[in-house]
């Protein structure tokens, strides 16, 4: 049997098996709240260049009949029999794509997903940033310990890491001098820092393809600053007569309070750039994570002139980039302070927004604490610099201590952030982030939460082009469901919230479930509309299964080429294609398999493009003939398809 299709261009074709239902094969360690798949899978890097060889590993011996397929969104781009624990795949030629690799078996009626992992094929981390951190640099951070920690971050596809509180002094970050760096020194909290630990982290991160960023304030100065060459005339003051220095108070047991320099002062900029030269000469950092402290009220320089901090931040960024154009820069916009000026420099790798409203003393009505504010931040950032992604530094379960993270709270926040297109700085090498003091380990991750994080970061990576690509908000589409209320954004308690976007010709509809189980611990409904879950009280959601949906006002869609759904909450994020639906006059009706926290619905209109969908046999043979996919050779093609000179042919 032969099929021949002549293409008018050499674009990547879409290859898909006939739609079969999918189910998950769960591990013996799985529980009702930990949906651990049977196989753990690992890759050797957090991201790959087009054409790179990707190394995979199963942590168990594959069962008979096991297969592996590679999906770009809903399109299967390769599928083969899997008989060994380790194997390779060559990354396709297209840059900035996400893939979901599914290990599965099939009985001809259902595909059973045994394991899944995402792959990011991107030549630059800033296109789809996934930011992590490290904050402890003690003597026990040996090569083997660091390798294990970074293996966890790599499993979650973290592609850049912030080094918090690694430095000796804010105005002299390197421990020692360039000529004589110290092997140990004390940080701001008087912890002993081992330079070997810092180097171990950088080395391992680079092996995984991660970027390494050192943290420091843009204006921090500690006691004894004059002996290190910092001038009083560079500092910031609360009065015109330079009698009261602006400072950030710290505990008495720490090394010093932090006095603030004027970030726009050229002499200060040159001084700190010199100190950064020392850092780069001794440590192989890729860039500088710049920090600030938010709004400081009215401030003056030494000579009595009022200071415009946001303009000073922009000037500081430009000075740091001019000194080291090859190094990357990120700068914190605390509560959005200075975000516009910083973003419009065009010199940052991403927006980095530290959001608050999570202290016990903060009112739940504070706008910054609400889920709604996260969307506002992303929209604001896009108006400042449309091609930069947003990373949120948002501290979960802030008022808990000596406990475990509350899984429903963390997962719900990540679901909203990821659906909005934002990333969450939360995963560290040896702990998860819960306070602005990054070394603090007051809450711990449970195996249950680790499992959820694995699925969520796989989903976030595999579908990154839909979540963080060139999207436009669509406020016309309306979703309704039987038995539960659905509202367009913003979130409402005990309802499903709908967020719709147009992405590359598709209608992408996110359903976020704000229906929670009953709890007598949550006494104020406003608590459930805040992202922080500060007291660890968010209950598990009410799960909706076989939910009858009606989606109306699908303007511009004449016929549906394909309808599919995916969720990080089910079957490792695998695509579930919907074939039983009705569509007429812009109204679509079908049954959604399930909704727990977040499910994504993708409507692909039928197209007359030469890139149109090609159907192939549902149960291919295990032919080992070679074929070529968009110029990249791939061995063992079960579909027996050859692509050559724009022609796709089924061969025997």
Both 583 and 621 in one domain: the answer is no
Both 18 and 116 in one domain: the answer is yes
CATH number, domain of 543, equals 2.60.40.1180
**Model pLDDT, residue 120:** 98
Both 601 and 484 in one domain: the answer is yes
Query: How many domains, the chain?
Result: 2
Q: Is the pLDDT of residue 312 over 70?
A: yes
Q: Is the pLDDT of residue 644 over 60?
A: no
Task: Give yes or no for a contact between 274 and 209, defined as CB atoms under 8 angstroms apart.
Answer: no
Both 517 and 595 in one domain: the answer is yes
Does 156 fall in a domain? no
Task: Give yes or no for a contact between 350 and 390, defined as CB atoms under 8 angstroms apart.
Answer: yes
**20-29, 124-133, 298-307, 633-642: the lowest-pLDDT one:** 633-642
**Model pLDDT, residue 631:** 28
Q: How many CB atoms lie within 10 A of CB 138?
A: 12
Structure token pair of residue 549: 């949906």
Does 591 fall in a domain? yes
Burial of 33 per CB tally in 10 Å (0-12, 13-18, 19+): middle
Both 25 and 104 in one domain: the answer is yes
Does 611 fall in a domain? no
**In 3D, which of 202, 133, 198, 130 has the Cα closest to residue 161?**
133
pLDDT band at 18 (very low <50, low <70, confident <90, very high): low
**11-25, 115-129, 391-405, 499-513: the lowest-pLDDT one:** 11-25
Q: Is the pLDDT of residue 464 over 90?
A: yes
Residue pLDDT, tens place only, 586-630: 999 999 999 999 999 999 999 754 343 333 333 333 332 222 222
Both 511 and 540 in one domain: the answer is yes
Residue pLDDT, tens place only, 619-638: 333 332 222 222 223 333 32
Residue pLDDT, tens place only, 357-389: 999 999 999 999 999 999 999 999 999 999 999
Q: How far apart are CA 118 and CA 585, in angstroms?
A: 37
CATH number, domain of 64, equals 2.60.40.10
Both 477 and 599 in one domain: the answer is yes
Does 581 fall in a domain? yes
Residue pLDDT, tens place only, 106-162: 999 999 999 999 999 999 999 999 999 999 999 999 999 999 999 999 999 999 999
Q: Is the pLDDT of residue 465 over 70?
A: yes
Both 493 and 582 in one domain: the answer is yes
pLDDT band at 582 (very low <50, low <70, confident <90, very high): very high
Angle at 133 between CA 130 and CA 137, to 5 degrees: 155
On average, the pLDDT of the chain sits at 91
Strand partners, 595: 544
Both 510 and 635 in one domain: the answer is no
Angle at 119 between CA 118 and CA 123, to 5 degrees: 150
Domain boundary among 568, 583, 605: 605
Both 52 and 74 in one domain: the answer is yes
Task: Give yes or no for a contact between 294 and 353, defined as CB atoms under 8 angstroms apart.
Answer: no
What pTM, to 2 d.p., does this model score?
Answer: 0.91
Does 251 fall in a domain? no
Instruction: Kindly state the average pLDDT of the residues 223-231.
Output: 98
Q: Is the pLDDT of residue 15 over 60?
A: no
**Model pLDDT, residue 19:** 77
Both 491 and 601 in one domain: the answer is yes
pLDDT band at 523 (very low <50, low <70, confident <90, very high): very high
540 lies in which domain range? 471-605
Does 567 fall in a domain? yes
Does 599 fall in a domain? yes
**Model pLDDT, residue 607:** 79
Both 530 and 486 in one domain: the answer is yes
pLDDT band at 6 (very low <50, low <70, confident <90, very high): very low
Does 187 fall in a domain? no
């Amino acid at each position: 049997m032969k099929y021949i299709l002549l293409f008018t261009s050499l674009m990547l074709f879409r290859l898909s098996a006939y739609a079969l239902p999918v189910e998950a094969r769960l591990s013996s360690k799985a529980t009702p709240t930990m949906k651990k798949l049977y196989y753990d899978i690992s890759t050797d890097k957090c991201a790959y260049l087009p054409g790179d060889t990707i190394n995979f590993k199963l942590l168990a011996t594959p069962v008979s009949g096991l297969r592996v397929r590679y999906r770009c969104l809903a399109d299967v781009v390769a599928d083969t029999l899997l008989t060994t624990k380790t194997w390779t795949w060559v990354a396709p030629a297209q840059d900035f794509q996400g893939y979901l690799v599914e290990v599965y078996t099939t009985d001809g009626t259902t595909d059973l997903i045994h394991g899944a992992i995402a792959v990011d094929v991107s030549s630059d981390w800033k296109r789809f940033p996934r930011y992590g951190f490290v904050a402890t640099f003690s003597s026990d951070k040996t090569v083997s310990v660091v390798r294990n920690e970074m293996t966890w971050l790599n499993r979650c596809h973290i592609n850049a890491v912030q080094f918090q509180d690694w430095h000796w002094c804010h105005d002299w970050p390197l421990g020692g001098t360039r000529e004589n760096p110290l092997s140990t020194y004390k940080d701001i909290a008087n912890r002993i820092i081992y330079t070997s630990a810092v180097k171990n982290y950088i080395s391992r991160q680079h092996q995984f393809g991660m970027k390494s960023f050192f943290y420091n304030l843009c204006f921090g100065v500690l006691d004894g600053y004059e002996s290190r060459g910092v001038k009083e005339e560079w500092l910031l003051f609360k009065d015109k007569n330079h009698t009261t220095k602006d400072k950030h108070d710290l505990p008495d047991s720490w090394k010093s309070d932090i006095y603030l320099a004027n970030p726009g002062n050229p002499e200060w900029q040159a001084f700190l750039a010199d100190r950064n030269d020392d850092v780069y000469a001794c440590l192989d950092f890729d860039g500088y994570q710049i920090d600030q402290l938010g709004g400081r009220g009215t401030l003056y320089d030494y000579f009595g002139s009022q200071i415009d901090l946001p303009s000073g931040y922009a000037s500081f960024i430009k000075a740091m980039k001019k000194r080291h154009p090859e190094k990357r820069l990120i700068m914190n916009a605390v509560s959005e302070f200075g975000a516009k000026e910083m973003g419009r420099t065009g010199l940052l790798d991403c927006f980095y927004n530290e959001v608050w409203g999570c202290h016990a003393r903060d009112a739940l009505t504070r706008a910054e604490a609400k889920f709604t504010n996260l969307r506002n931040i992303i929209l604001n950032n896009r108006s400042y610099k449309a091609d930069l992604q947003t990373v949120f530094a948002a501290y979960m379960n802030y008022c808990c201590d000596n406990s475990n993270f509350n899984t429903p709270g963390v997962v719900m926040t990540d679901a909203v952030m990821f659906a909005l297109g934002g990333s969450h700085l939360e995963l560290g090498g040896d702990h998860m982030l819960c306070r602005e003091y990054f070394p603090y380990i007051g809450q711990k991750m449970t195996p249950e939460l680790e499992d959820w994080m694995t699925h969520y970061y796989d989903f976030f990576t595999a579908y990154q082009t839909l979540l963080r690509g060139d999207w436009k908000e669509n406020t016309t589409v309306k979703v309704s469901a039987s038995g539960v209320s659905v509202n367009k954004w913003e979130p409402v308690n005990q309802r499903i919230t709908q967020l719709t976007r147009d992405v590359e010709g598709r209608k992408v509809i996110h359903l976020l479930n704000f229906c929670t189980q009953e709890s007598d611990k949550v006494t104020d409904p406003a608590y459930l509309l805040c992202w922080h879950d500060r007291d660890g009280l968010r209950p598990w959601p009410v799960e909706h299964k076989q939910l009858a949906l009606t989606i109306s006002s699908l303007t511009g869609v004449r016929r549906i080429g394909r309808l599919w759904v995916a969720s990080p909450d089910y079957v490792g994020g695998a695509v579930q294609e919907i074939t039983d639906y009705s569509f007429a006059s812009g109204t679509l009706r079908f049954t959604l398999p399930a909704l727990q926290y977040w499910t994504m619905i993708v409507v692909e209109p039928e197209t007359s493009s030469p890139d149109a969908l090609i159907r192939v046999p549902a149960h291919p043979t295990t032919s080992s003939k070679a074929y070529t996919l968009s110029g990249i050779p791939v061995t063992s093609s079960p579909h027996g398809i050859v692509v050559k000179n724009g022609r796709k042919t089924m061969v025997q």
